[in-house]
């Protein structure tokens, strides 16, 4: 399945990306839902799948984490089921995510699907990430407000909501319509008829996450042992001199500027997933000969949905990052490393140079037996 996005991506990046929301009617012509409502409900029951239900009660909303065995008791109005990372489990949903690869893979978070009945929604809220909302079957009215300081509603019911806002976008979305909302813009959706919709999210790390990752790296690898030294001391003993303040800040900057630590830290951090991957290992671990034979017989290696395979621009070490791991491939295999990062599916001819290198072939076999790629 292929989803074609009717969008001038260059214009979008220049005018809208992380700047202002925009509604794009008919962005996906003849849109086909990647799943049915009952499939979504069934997926929510699977172990490891993150899901929640939001129930509207007058002017208040209540969130429930986890799946439900039945939905009849909820009635036919005022509730919504949300399931995260459906692209980890459904190839069709991963195909939908592919339509947004004009943005960096490291930013991609997941495809969330929701089914809602009339009156269903999650209430007015603000996200700290970029989101593309695609309307599937049914109709939903979406309102988006401008950036500003909005009072928080009581979020004791498992939700973080804001007070009502004045909309700058107010539209009823039809199947195939696309709504882009940058971080910080309040928005709310109200379901008009039984509806499926899909949210394709893109996140960037916060300062907290970057500093936490740096601290973890320093502790795990026993790095950062250099202590501050100075050639002069302040005359006032109770003061921390400006020179000392600057010197200690430079110690921290030096760790970020360290080419042996910071790039690897970034690749490791940005290749991780917020939601559990649906690994697909073979029933019995394959040998290298078995893998080679399968590829020679015409099978291909397919990457599982949601797996990020990243490279560093200008990297002299030819590192490949996947699922929070760092692998170094020989320099002659740089083109193969790029293929592994860029392509979801690779055939035997494309992989032959990698299979001819002992250590790299062992790495590929390890990835396959771990379930990151599977024979198809």
CA-based nearest residue to 282, from 159, 352, 368, 189:
368
| Residue the block writes with tokens 């909005």 | 150
The CATH number of residue 37's host domain is 2.60.120.650
Q: What is the CA radius of gyration of the chain?
A: 24
pLDDT score of 270: 98
Q: What is the CATH number of the domain that holds 307?
A: 3.40.366.30
Total residue length of the chain:
376
Q: State the pLDDT at residue 234.
A: 85
Which residues partner with 200 through β-bridges?
Answer: 111, 132
Residues 166 and 252 in one domain: no
Same domain, yes or no: 107 and 176:
yes
Residue 62 DSSP symbol:
E
Residue 71 lies in a domain: yes
Digitized pLDDT (tens) for each residue of the chain, 376 residues in all: 899 999 999 999 999 999 999 999 999 999 999 999 999 999 999 999 999 999 998 888 888 887 777 788 888 999 999 999 999 999 999 999 999 999 999 999 999 999 999 999 999 999 999 999 999 999 999 999 999 999 988 765 667 899 989 999 999 999 999 999 999 999 999 999 999 999 999 999 999 999 999 999 999 999 889 999 998 888 889 999 999 999 999 999 998 898 888 999 999 999 999 999 999 999 999 999 999 999 999 999 999 999 999 999 999 999 999 999 999 999 999 999 999 999 999 999 999 999 998 899 999 999 999 999 999 9
> Quick check: is 160 in a domain?
yes
CA distance 277 to 49: 9
370 and 253 co-located in one domain: no
Residues 65 and 181 in one domain: yes
> Which tokens is 202 given?
């893109």
Domain count for the chain, please give it: 3
The two three-digit tokens of residue 268, written as one number: 């490791």
Residue 252 main-chain phi, psi, to 5 deg: -70, -45
247 shares a domain with 118: no
Strand partners, 152: 162
pTM metric for this prediction = 0.93
Does one domain contain both 192 and 79?
yes
Residues 360 and 333: their CA atoms lie apart, in Å, by 9
- 320: tokens are 């490949």
State the DSSP string of 202-219.
E----HHHHHHHHHHHHH
CA–CA separation, 291 and 282 (whole Å): 11
Q: Which residues have C-beta within 8 Å of that of residue 44, sequence separation ≥ 6?
A: 51, 67, 68, 81, 83
Residues 105 and 182 in one domain: yes
Q: 106 and 176 in one domain? A: yes
Report whether 306 contacts 87 (CB < 8 A). yes
DSSP assigned state of 157: T
pLDDT of residue 157: 67
Q: How wide is the angle at C-alpha 83 spanned by C-alphas 204 and 175, nearest 5°?
A: 90
Can you state the percent helix, strand and coil of the chain, rounding each to 5? 30, 25, 45
Angstrom CA distances, 359 to 86, 293, 342, stand at 34, 18, 21
Same structural domain, 183 and 213? no
What pLDDT score does 249 carry?
94
Q: Are 85 and 193 within one domain? A: yes
The pLDDT score that the predictor gives to residue 158 is 66
Range of the domain at 254: 207-228+240-261
């Amino acid at each position: 399945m292929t989803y074609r996005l009717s969008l001038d991506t260059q214009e979008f990046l220049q005018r809208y990306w992380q700047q202002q929301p925009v509604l794009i009617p008919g962005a996906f012509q003849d849109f086909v839902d990647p799943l049915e409502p009952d499939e979504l409900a069934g997926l929510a029951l699977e172990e490891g799948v993150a899901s929640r239900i939001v129930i509207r009660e007058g002017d208040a909303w209540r969130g429930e984490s986890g799946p439900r065995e039945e939905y009849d008791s909820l009635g036919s109005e005022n509730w919504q089921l949300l399931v995260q990372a459906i692209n980890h489990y459904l190839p069709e949903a991963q195909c939908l995510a592919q339509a947004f690869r004009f943005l960096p893979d490291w930013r991609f978070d997941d495809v969330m699907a929701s089914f809602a009945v009339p009156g269903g929604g999650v209430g007015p809220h603000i996200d700290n990430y970029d989101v593309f909302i695609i309307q599937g079957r049914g109709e939903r009215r979406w309102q988006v407000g401008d950036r500003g300081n909005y009072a928080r509603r009581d979020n004791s019911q498992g939700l973080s909501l804001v007070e009502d806002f004045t909309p700058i976008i107010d539209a009823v979305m039809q199947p195939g319509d696309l709504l882009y909302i940058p971080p910080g813009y309040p928005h709310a959706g109200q379901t008009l008829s039984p509806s499926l919709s899909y949210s394709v999210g893109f996140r960037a790390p916060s300062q907290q996450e970057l500093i936490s990752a740096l601290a973890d790296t320093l502790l795990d690898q026993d790095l950062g042992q250099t202590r501050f030294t100075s050639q002069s001391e302040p005359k006032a003993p109770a003061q921390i001199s400006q020179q000392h303040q600057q010197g200690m800040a430079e110690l921290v900057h030096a760790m970020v500027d360290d080419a042996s630590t910071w790039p690897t830290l970034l690749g490791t951090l940005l290749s991780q997933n917020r939601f559990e991957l649906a690994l697909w290992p073979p029933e019995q671990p394959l040998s290298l000969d078995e893998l080679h034979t399968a590829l020679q017989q015409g099978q291909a290696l397919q990457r599982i949905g949601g797996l990020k395979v990243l490279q560093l621009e200008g990297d002299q070490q030819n590192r490949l990052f996947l699922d929070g791991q760092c692998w170094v491939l020989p320099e002659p295999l740089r083109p193969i490393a790029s293929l592994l990062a860029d392509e979801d599916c690779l055939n035997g001819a494309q992989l032959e140079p990698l299979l001819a290198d002992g250590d790299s072939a062992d790495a590929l076999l390890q990835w396959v037996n771990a379930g990151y790629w599977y024979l198809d």
